[in-house]
Amino acid sequence: MASGPIVFDEYLEYSKNFEKRHCVDLSEVALEGARARIGDHGVYHCGSFFDLEFDDDFFDCALSLHTIYHMDAGRQEIAVRKLLRVTKPGHPVIVVYTSPRTLLAKL
């Protein structure tokens, strides 16, 4: 969810053992950046994660880095539930949630 242009080299490691990396983002520019980094290893979906349809149990792993806290509070649980729904049972769903309102962000 919200893959962005995959600017950090360590983010490339996240999908190296998977056949394909599905990149979802609202921004076509961000997806073009991702395409420049991973090329044919990626499948690119432009649009809102809420509006894009993926089958249940489709992904081997789902990852959301610093995205969900940007959503309205009422939609955050919906987003996490969708990540769980589209990921195969027993497979990892990783959510990194850091709010800009935390003490750490103010230091």
What is the residue extent of each domain of the chain? 9-106
- Which CATH superfamily groups domain 9-106? Vaccinia Virus protein VP39 (3.40.50.150)
Between strands 42-46 and 62-65, the pairing is unpaired
The pLDDT of residue 104 is 58
Burial of 51: CB neighbours in 10 Å, binned 0-12, 13-18, 19+: exposed
**Percent of the chain clearing pLDDT 70 (strictly above):** 92
The pLDDT of residue 66 is 87
Please give the structure tokens belonging to residue 62.
């789902």
Cβ neighbours around 82 below 10 Å, total: 16
